[in-house]
Structure 1
Amino acid sequence: DLERQIEAFVDYDNTRRYHESLDNLTPADVYHVRPTIRNQATIVGRLVVSVRVWFLRRVEGKTMKIGQFVQSSIPAIFEYCERQDPAEFVRLQDTRYSKETFDINYPFCRPVDQIGQTDRVRYWNRDYVVNGISVRVTSQWFNPPTSKSLPLFRRYLVQRGIAVAHPLPETASDEAQSDAAVRAARGRYKGNAIGNAQNYLVRNILSRLGDEQFSAVQWQEVVEEFGRACAYYGAEGELVMDHVVPINKQALGEHRLGNLAPSCRACNARKSEQDFRDFLAGDQARIAAIEAHMIKYGYRPIGDHEQLREIIDLAHQDVRHLADRYVAIINTVLRGESGEEK
């Protein structure tokens, strides 16, 4: 019976299943070289690709509209900075100012020599020279309802009297509608779903740093080291692993033996995201015991590592950006389908 099933599967895969990697032919077609079928399949395959490209362009054309608008306005903005307000050029390089002014998470522009390797994808490739400084402009712009950048960007241009070649049409109620849409869209994210996903990603990254691996036997040796009792309170009974330096984007703890100590469930819950020194404030003996354990296993906490913290923050933000991105694409598709039905 098993042999018949295998034979049937092989026959199906070789003679009836069309493989995209084979230009939408079956392996039998390729083996026996059927030119007519090959030409027809190639045409069909190209048609499928064309439909995919058309669909992506249709979606991208709608979701990237603000990006095109910003790019067309950049020369006028920098001309304004050079001729009327040189200080504005400095402000545009500030993260907080850019967030408050445009609702974007990166500086509007940054000097090219200050854009790190991890941030290069966040900026368009074109260089602009402003007051003798070569800069690039961030590409991280999103359309309503995931962002209110569009009405804010329009307001910015109008308030400063910056004329652009192809401004987008604007109505009196456009900004109010956009703000309402943003509040509604962001309201969905006020639950724990996005925050949990962001924290899970950070924990996953920090847990996989380095190449240390350990076994259950080695973990039991750590438990024995602490007298088979809670490292924080001394209670015996059921013990769980606890990261003495928490795995989060503030503390930057890691999943290594030197950063693990046995804990009762009560202490594990109370300690939560605290550093062990804060949790054990005043109990110098237990703090010293944990520090000795860290030294024994060669664990040196990352500490205040600015570059790593920036990378972790970037990963943390990417989760929300990715969610916003796909929400915008799906909403565009659904609106298009709704319009076609009407």
Structure 2
Amino acid sequence: MRCLLKHFGIVLLAVFVLSMAADVAVAQQQGMVPGQSAGAVNDSELWRSIRNGAEGLIQSEGDNWRALRNGPVSTWGGYLMGLMVFACIAFFLARGRVRVEHGMSGRMVSRFSMTERVVHWYVAVLFVLLALTGLTLLFGKYVFIPVFGKAAFAVLADLSKQSHNLLGPLFILGVIAMFIVYVKENMPRAIDMDWITKGGILFRGDVPSWKYNVAEKIWFWLAIIAGVALSFTGVFMDFPFISSGTEQLQLFSIIHAIGAVIVIAAAIGHIYIGTIGVEGAFDGMVTGEVDENWAKEHHSLWAEEEATPAASEGGAVEPAE
């Protein structure tokens, strides 16, 4: 009996030792603790490779991109757009609406063709939709999550992302069309310096300009340059497989965001001037016509040019009282 118990004890001890050895082997294969072995490779080698920036392990530039996007870009972009809103409000309170000094004459002058208006509103509608969806992706988590929660924002963010990606290519067509239709009248002229030195719409008085003044020309070229930058970078983000890698997409994402907040801030000023800021300005882009007195006060050289054919066809244009 004692011999049997002795052999039984030896068997139990052997089973215990073998089970412990198996557990250690599994732990070594899984590499459960940094510094232990993972099969034939020690975990310390893995962490050393990570610290040395071995390709394919950790893309540290992703943290840099996130810090830049969620830090300076969104912060200063928000300040810029907020400053533009404040400037428009301050200008309106200080200057009021820019009225037609001699009042409306009732005589209308053709300012924008149907083609010009269609292109303008096509780009404008797409721009507003892209701005809203883009700002949702850039600032939404700060604005919507505290109010609606993460689940609701996840749905809104996904909808914004899909809409943004689908509308982007349509916007590219609009930028091309806008350049073709509007570039001729937006080329710089020597007379533009007079508009700058006389203060443009900041001061009353006759400030001569052709169809577009300096501020309108600056807005046009800013919109075109930003539109090209947004379109170019947007294509790569829409179709990432054509990019050279993640680093390029991160760079283009930052350029895209910076260009967007700049042009959106400028658009706030453009929308203000074109609606409540300047009396009669909105009519031209809706009906294609503006009042004759408005044309003379805001674009006197262009108004004279438009009046010349009418006078040669049988009647001088009556001067405004």
Q: TM-score with structure 2 length normalisation?
A: 0.24
| Structure ranking higher on relative contact order (CA contacts 8 Å, 6+ apart) | 2
Greater Rg over alpha carbons, structure: 2
